[in-house]
Structure 1
Amino acid sequence: MPFTLRSPVHSELLIKKSRFIGCVEPCTGREAALARVAELRAEHPGATHVCWALMAGGHSAANDDGEPGGTAGRPMLEVLRHQDLEGALATVVRYYGGVQLGAGGLVRAYTDSVAQALLTADKVPVISQVTLRCAVPYAMEGWLRRELDAHGARLLEAQHGEGVSVALSLPEANAAALVARINDAGQGQVIWCKAEADLEPD
């Protein structure tokens, strides 16, 4: 099961006079990651490198930012993969201390920066959510609102017209059971705005 972070975690290592400042934080995608990396560059104008790795939305990205190819971003990405993280950005800001670390030393330094930060991480499971939309008779609205908690669902919106059009958000694993409950209670009067055929129980 994939996990994400409840809040950012940090580390700081000093290796042969080079300072490595690591951070792993929740991140929604590449655009947000690039914005965060730009912020770090502004916060650390004297830094030699700002390397990063991203796992978000089933996609991954890694950037060595001038370090020898494959010695920074990819090792950082492997730590995120190994910890089964999703929606996470790892960054390491390096201040060069004047002593070459060699390729192996760099890989270890960047790997350790991310791994050390994650030692204190509060990881939470990623639960896939789906949105369902349907129109129900007015007489069902109260029943439907009461039913939501049992399925871990929440009401996103309710519009009142000829009937009540609702949008619901809930864990994907609970969707089929809720669809079946609503259909049973509606006795043919429920109109689905999103095809629920693939959510119907077998």
Structure 2
Amino acid sequence: MLYQLDDIYHYEEDIKKSRFLAIAAPVQSASDAMAFLEQHSVPDATHNCWAYKIGDEYRFNDDGEPGGTAGRPMLQAIEGQSCDRVVVLVIRWFGGVKLGTGGLVRAYGGVAASCLRLAPKSPIVPLQTVLCSCEYSDSDLVRSRFAQYQAQVLAEQFGATGVEWHLALPLDQVEAFEQAFTNLTRGQGFWSKQEQTDSQSLE
């Protein structure tokens, strides 16, 4: 199970006189992530290191720290906390004590992981979109089952003889609802699976 942050979350920690501030946020695209980084980076801080992951797409940046000691550990923290569609920025104000390579990896990775662990999150649910229709005589009964199967109505159209819905269902509910729909309409309803959408949080 993957999780998405509900909102922006801040976490701060002092490590050997250096101050580390982690800011994590939910994002839907690389452009969202870059806009967030531009908005929240602190120009007069020593380093603004970051990482983001959106599905199979990811990037990270050490911002002047030794290669592999900041951005990559932060990406590993994102994966370790089972998060997706997230950007993490860790801002460092150097306090005069060098941490060494291993210390930097532990600091950046640890601060990012703590931020993500404490942030309020929601599970990400893969959705299947479905196009279905039935006669008006069955429509109220079919509609009454939407909540049971967590069906979201994306569109609803009223025709001459019946109702057509464009629905989004959790992937694990599709088969059960299709069977229920067939029974409720006595096999007379129309049912067609559309595309599987990218995983997204159910409201």
Which residue of 1 is the match for residue 23 of structure 2? 23
Q: State the SS of the aligned residue for 2:147.
A: helix
Per-residue CA deviation, residues 119-178 of structure 1 (Å, 9 max, x unaligned), is 423333222122211222222221111011111212222111233121112211001111
Structure 1 runs, 4 residues or longer, greater than 4 Å off: none
2:181 equivalent to 1:182: yes
Q: Hey, which of these two has a bigger chunk of helix by percent? A: 1
Instruction: Compute the TM-score of the two structures, normalised by the length of structure 2.
Output: 0.84
Distance 2:56 2:147 in 1: 29
Select which of 103, 110, 113 maps to 1:112: 110
Instruction: Compute the TM-score of the two structures, normalised by the length of structure 1.
Output: 0.84
* Within-5 A mapping of 1:116-127: 116-127=114-125
Identity among equivalent pairs (%) = 39
Query: Which blocks of at least 5 consecutive residues in structure 1 are unaligned?
Result: 197-202
Distance 1:123 1:45 in 2: 29
Q: State the SS of the aligned residue for 1:150.
A: coil
Deviation at 1:195, TM superposition (A): 5.5
Distance 1:27 1:195 in 2: 25
Q: More displaced, 22-31 or 95-104?
A: 95-104
* Within-5 A mapping of 1:78-93: 78-93=76-91
Which residue of 2 is the match for residue 200 of structure 1? none
Distance 1:102 1:6 in 2: 34
Q: Which amino acid aligns with 1:183?
A: T
2:144 equivalent to 1:146: yes
**How many residues matched?**
194
Q: Give the root-mean-square deviation of aligned CA atoms.
A: 2.2
Deviation at 1:109, TM superposition (A): 1.6
Distance 2:191 2:117 in 1: 46
